[in-house]
Amino acid sequence: MAIFKKETTAPVVVPQHIAIIMDGNGRWAKKRGLPRTAGHKKGANNFRTIADYMNKIGVKYMTFYAFSTENWKRSQDEIETIMNLFQDYLVEALERFHETDMRLVFIGDRSVLKPELVALMDKIETISKDNKGAVVNLAINYGGRQEVVAACKKIAQQVKEGTVNPEDISEDMLSDNIFTAGQPDPDLIIRPSGEFRLSNFLIWQSAYSEFWFDNVLWPDFSVKDLDRAIQDYSKRQRRFGGVK
């Protein structure tokens, strides 16, 4: 059960959409004298735990930042470890997503990923598309600025083809052409590890998101930490530019 339900009598508002930047795997490993790859393995296991927990407490959408467009700058060994862990997770998810009833969606540029990985991604999206549980967005080779540029290119093509007039371009139209089209923007964005920036994550979608930062490294981020974030979120007044 959720810790916050036991320890507080104040109203608790579970966000409809929580996004998490899974940061600190390398530092977690370094503190223990382990290779960075060990941190990624621990972090991957924690992803499963946190995703399952959020599904149980009623979060309807969740987005995890797993691999950015900038992460290709890392060592080849580290990249291969991350991609192998991702593939292992997909194989496992093919079996267990019917149990959790969650729907898995991948956001990001798939064009540079291995064909066998893309095939697995396509397969699991198809298999889980009718599930009624939480929608899990997994950001792989994702960049927020690149996402906006890609959306603009789609709209520009529609203008070129004569199906859209330039004066009709709106915020809603751009939202309809990004990776998370049809989904609500994140209510709460969580970043562990002591960093205080978005790092090119959900640039368009985060306009009115609430933020929660903490020094705990992602592999150590627990359901209790998530409860703390939700408790804090519940105390905030979201005005969306207006006055309440």
**pLDDT at residue 101 tops 60:** yes
List the catalytic residue out of 23, 185, 187, 227: 23
The pLDDT assigned to 2 comes to 47
The pLDDT assigned to 243 comes to 59
177: annotated active-site residue = no
List the catalytic residue out of 52, 71, 131, 232: 71
Stated pTM of the model: 0.92
Query: What ranges do the domains of the chain cover?
Result: 13-143+185-230
Computed over every residue of the chain, the mean pLDDT equals 92
77: annotated active-site residue = no
Q: Which two tokens stand for residue 242?
A: 């207006």
Distance CA 233, CA 32 (A): 32
The pLDDT assigned to 92 comes to 86
Cβ-based neighbours of 158, under 8 Å, separated by 6 or more? 164
The pLDDT assigned to 3 comes to 47
The pLDDT assigned to 9 comes to 57
Q: Report pLDDT digits (tens) over 157-191.
A: 999 999 999 999 999 999 999 999 999 999 999 99
Domain 13-143+185-230, what architecture? Answer: 3-Layer(aba) Sandwich (3.40)
Distance CA 102, CA 92 (A): 13
Q: Are 166 and 136 in contact (CB under 8 A)?
A: no
